[in-house]
Amino acid sequence: MQVNGTQPNTIEEKLKALEDRVAAFEKKYLKLDGKDVPIDGVPKEAEKADSAQDVTAKADEKDKQNAEEEIKNPSRVKILYNSVNPKTGEREDQLSDKIPEKESSNEEDSQHAFVLRKLICDKEADNVSEIEIKSDGLWKLLGQCLGSIPGHNFGGKPVTLESPYPQLIYEWDNLQTSAKEQAADDDEKQNRSDLQLLLDTIQKGGGDPVLETFFKDRDACREQKTIVFDNLWTLFKPGILVYGRPFQDQHQLFLVHHVLRRKKIFNVICYTYDWNGHQFKRMSVKLEIKSFDRQKPIESLPFYPFEYHDDQDKVLQKLKENGTRYHEVCTVKEGARMFNYKGSAIYLRKGFTGLAKDDGESDEQENKTWIDSVLDDEDSNEKVTRLSKVDGPVMVDFESYFLYGGEQAQIGGLTPYREDIECQCQDCQANKGLRKLFRSDFDDSENQEQGFRFPEQYLLCPPRVLGYVLREKQWAQLKVTSIVNMPKDPGDDSWNSRLKLGDDGDDDDSSDTKDMILNLVKGHENARSSGEKVELGVDDIVDRKGKGLVILLYGPPGVGKTTTAETVAIQARKPLFSISVADVGTKAKHVENNLRKIFDLATSWQAILLIDEADVFLESRGRTSGNSIERNALVSVFLRVLEYYQGILILTTNQIAQFDVAVYSRIHVAIKYRPLNKKQTKDIFEGFLVPLRDKNKIANYKQVEKYLREDVIKKAALDGRQIRNVVTSALSLARATDKSQLDLRHLKTIISNVTDFRQDFNQQMEKYKEQQKGMVGETA
């Protein structure tokens, strides 16, 4: 080191030389930075601050130059940030937080494969994004991979895709595979490279928190077969089969169309394959999954993709059997729609919608109000799925269900989705991939009654049919597996063994009255079912008039009138369609329309129509008191509609003294029932007690038999209904006293009570009659 050309020797000289050298370096640096060098070679404090600000400005300038350079030489992706300008209140695109997006030329746009625009919102959770495809080659490649995915038509010019990009997520693995496939030329290589870039961009920074949640949990959830609520939408890809048990825990598959995402409830809009009374068609329903916390096993969801079921083969076999039976039951011919049923059913309503009520409001309006209120309730599914036990005949009839029971084809608590989910645009209708995805050909009605064209049609059938429970008079959802065909032999011999009429001989089959009733019913049905002109028939002057069969059963209570109707229906293997005055109404302005609908339904079912206690329709029009005009009109309407009824009608009444004279000409056969004779009483008692004896439920049966023969049958004068009540009450008494068997003491207690009441009733009735006679005498 030299000082002024000489070599420093002392320590002082060496230090001075080092200071000069540092000052020279500092001076050189400041010159490079564009600053004047102070005289002493050291920058002042103010100049140091100016220098720091200039460095920051220089960095900003450098960023801007780099951004402009990127615009001049863009990559295959442009990322924009779209936010609200606080000065103008309008949304603007920016390349970064500080650099506004300037309008680009077509030449510059053509160098980008796509543009990712991140829409920044006030709340980070509300941020979304969109991708604008610029490359025709990339768009074409996407179309090849996603052409059958609903929501976008990948033909024509490229359009903007919106986050969370379900079309891409549903086919994510397939798109990854396509991006890595070997390219045939440079253009295809570029397209597949752009596809990979698109996927990487979405995965690493798609600008949507929904996507971030999905990719964060994706691998772990797939490995563990779990899901979080926010990612449910990724499970239900359009066109896949979804498994659930919405109806009485029965297996059912659905076909996914689309999903609806909400904060607290997630909905899957699906197809099932249902019968509408005329043909099999796809029906849309809305499945519901309520929100849950943390990860949840997929199989624990109420509805989940069928591919996750651990015993698919077993379920598929059950579904095939169910679908085959469903097809059989739905396509039976008119007149063969009655089945035996033993199991649980979901009752919808009692009575008939569309029938006018006496208060002026129709049942249809009342039912609609109730249905609407239920649907508005968040827990509606629980309210409409009341299970009831059924053991008896039912009618499977979808068409009548919709007319008189309810407008909606519910499946358990699921109701049809009200919106038309099938896109009717020309592009979607012409898209063969979409039609195949959503099984549009399933709606083809050609030769449906012979069987389905596609095996999957059987798998999509619901596990329920719609119909009417005859004994309970309830419209209901019925389980397919609980429906049994009616046997050729009635099996129940109540007609011969349990029904006891006055002319029954020692041989149960020797009743002329029963033979006549049964033969009339069978003969009328044979004439109708033959479909040809019957030689042994009479035509009325007016067409379709007088084609029915009207049987009147009259006599005191409890002698077998209603039982006759019930047992002849069983013997003839026909439905017994029982209605009451309450079903028809008592206002003349409503009765005619109501009766026509009920008669039409009975004719369709080829049922025996029973109107029990029909006195109100049969009373003389000249003898009624009070509102005689209304009552007279009621009888007139009933008789007029009756003339055109072509089915079988049984009327029961306790007396005929007040009948209108016109009634007699409408009755084909009238049968009088007298009080039970001793033989009938004995036979009816035995009909109830012998089965109990055979089951060892009666102690010392001979003692009971002797008591009945000597003390009851001769003296009590009980009717059939009272006999049934005596036996059932005695059994209840035995159970209440912890007895395993019914004994004589139980019967005596009940019979004593019945006879005492009967005596008191008769005494009071005699007093009443005497009082009425006295009042009439005084008036005279």
Calculated CA dihedral for residues 190, 195, 199, 204, nearest 10 degrees:
20
- Provide the percentage of residues in the chain whose pLDDT is more than 90: 40
The rounded distance, in Å, linking the Cα atoms of 654 and 675 is 12
CA 238 to chain centre: 20
CB 435 within 8 A of CB 147: no
Other beta carbons less than 10 A from residue 199's beta carbon: 16
Does the structure show a pLDDT above 90 at 125?
no
Read off the tokens for 103: 């309008």
Which pLDDT band, with edges at 50, 70 and 90, does 204 fall under? confident
From residue 284, alpha-carbon distances to 129, 371, 384, 454, 492 in Å are 31, 18, 19, 19, 42
Largest CA distance in the chain: 167
Bridge partner list, 311: none
Quick one: DSSP state of residue 3?
B
Which residue type occupies 671? I
* Angle made by CA atoms 259, 260, 266, in degrees to the nearest 5: 95
Which pLDDT band, with edges at 50, 70 and 90, does 292 fall under? very high
Closest CA to 506 of 317, 722, 336, 682: 682
Q: Cis bond leading into 487, ω under 30°?
A: no
Name residues whose C-beta falls within 8 Å of residue 165's C-beta, 6 or more positions apart in sequence. Answer: 131, 202, 206, 211
CB 499 within 8 A of CB 673: no
Does the structure show a pLDDT above 80 at 678?
yes
CA 604 to chain centre: 26
Q: For all residues of the chain together, what is the average pLDDT?
A: 81
Q: Which helix (H) or strand (E) holds 601?
A: helix 588-605
pLDDT at residue 219, as a whole number: 87
Bridge partner list, 191: none
pLDDT digits (tens, 9 = 90+) for 92-115: 888 765 555 655 555 556 688 999
Residue matched to tokens 């929100």 = 291
Q: Which of 131-135, 487-491, 699-703 has the lowest mean pLDDT?
A: 487-491
Does the structure show a pLDDT above 50 at 383?
no
Calculate mean pLDDT across residues 627-649: 84
Bridge partner list, 256: 270
The rounded distance, in Å, linking the Cα atoms of 681 and 675 is 10
Calculate mean pLDDT across residues 750-757: 90
Phi, psi dihedral angles at 203 (to 5 degrees) = -70, -35
Calculate mean pLDDT across residues 12-25: 60
| Backbone region of residue 156 per phi and psi (left: phi > 0; alpha: psi in -120 to 50; beta: other values) | left
Quick one: DSSP state of residue 750?
H
Does the structure show a pLDDT above 70 at 155?
no
Sheet architecture: strand order including 549-554: 576-579, 608-611, 648-653, 549-554, 669-672
Read off the tokens for 560: 């077998």
pLDDT digits (tens, 9 = 90+) for 725-747: 999 999 999 988 877 889 999 99
Most confident segment among 274-283, 515-524, 542-551: 274-283
pLDDT digits (tens, 9 = 90+) for 330-341: 999 988 999 999
3-state secondary structure of 158: coil
β 91-94/608-611 pair status: unpaired
Does the structure show a pLDDT above 80 at 463?
yes
pLDDT digits (tens, 9 = 90+) for 295-343: 999 999 999 999 999 999 999 999 999 999 999 999 999 889 999 999 9
Closest CA to 476 of 395, 571, 594: 395
Angle between helices 588-605 and 628-643 (to 10 degrees): 20
Calculate mean pLDDT across residues 130-135: 92
Quick one: DSSP state of residue 711?
I
Bridge partner list, 243: 253, 304
Quick one: DSSP state of residue 548?
S
This prediction has a pTM of 0.78
CATH 1.20.140 fits 678-779, yes or no: no
Calculate mean pLDDT across residues 466-474: 94
pLDDT at residue 366, as a whole number: 42
Which residue type occupies 356? A
β 669-672/549-554 pair status: parallel
CA 138 to chain centre: 42
Does the structure show a pLDDT above 80 at 523?
yes
Does the structure show a pLDDT above 50 at 66?
no
Bridge partner list, 411: 414
3-state secondary structure of 616: helix
Does the structure show a pLDDT above 80 at 356?
no
The rounded distance, in Å, linking the Cα atoms of 574 and 393 is 10
Residue matched to tokens 């063994």 = 497
Bridge partner list, 702: none
The rounded distance, in Å, linking the Cα atoms of 114 and 101 is 16
The rounded distance, in Å, linking the Cα atoms of 449 and 458 is 13
The rounded distance, in Å, linking the Cα atoms of 400 and 612 is 23
pLDDT at residue 121, as a whole number: 84
Read off the tokens for 95: 């390349």
Write the DSSP assignment of 185-228 as a string of letters: SHHHHHHHHHHHHHHHHHHHH-S-HHHHHHHHHHHHHHHHTEE-
Other beta carbons less than 10 A from residue 511's beta carbon: 20
Which pLDDT band, with edges at 50, 70 and 90, does 581 fall under? confident
Read off the tokens for 687: 């009909």
Name residues whose C-beta falls within 8 Å of residue 537's C-beta, 6 or more positions apart in sequence. Answer: 527
The rounded distance, in Å, linking the Cα atoms of 202 and 204 is 6
Q: Which of 63-67, 543-547, 753-757 has the lowest mean pLDDT?
A: 63-67
pLDDT at residue 34, as a whole number: 46
CB 625 within 8 A of CB 643: no
Helix residue ranges, H only, 474-574: 494-497, 512-529, 561-571
Phi, psi dihedral angles at 168 (to 5 degrees) = -80, -40
Calculate mean pLDDT across residues 114-140: 88
Does the structure show a pLDDT above 50 at 777?
yes
Quick one: DSSP state of residue 405?
I
Q: Which of 49-53, 488-492, 655-659 has the lowest mean pLDDT?
A: 49-53
Does the structure show a pLDDT above 50 at 163?
yes
Q: Which of 346-350, 646-650, 714-718 has the lowest mean pLDDT?
A: 714-718
Calculate mean pLDDT across residues 525-540: 55
pLDDT at residue 662, as a whole number: 85
Q: Which of 15-29, 69-83, 298-312, 662-676 has the lowest mean pLDDT?
A: 15-29
Helix residue ranges, H only, 257-347: 312-330
CB 61 within 8 A of CB 96: no
Burial class (CB in 10 A: 0-12, 13-18, 19+), 290: exposed
The rounded distance, in Å, linking the Cα atoms of 66 and 72 is 10
| Backbone region of residue 412 per phi and psi (left: phi > 0; alpha: psi in -120 to 50; beta: other values) | left
- % helix, strand, coil for the chain, step of 5: 45, 20, 35
Which residue type occupies 151? G
Which pLDDT band, with edges at 50, 70 and 90, does 32 fall under? very low
The rounded distance, in Å, linking the Cα atoms of 147 and 22 is 72
Read off the tokens for 639: 């008789």
Most confident segment among 24-33, 359-368, 676-685: 676-685
The rounded distance, in Å, linking the Cα atoms of 560 and 674 is 10
CATH superfamily for 494-672 is: P-loop containing nucleotide triphosphate hydrolases (3.40.50.300)
Phi, psi dihedral angles at 145 (to 5 degrees) = -85, -30
Read off the tokens for 362: 């129709």
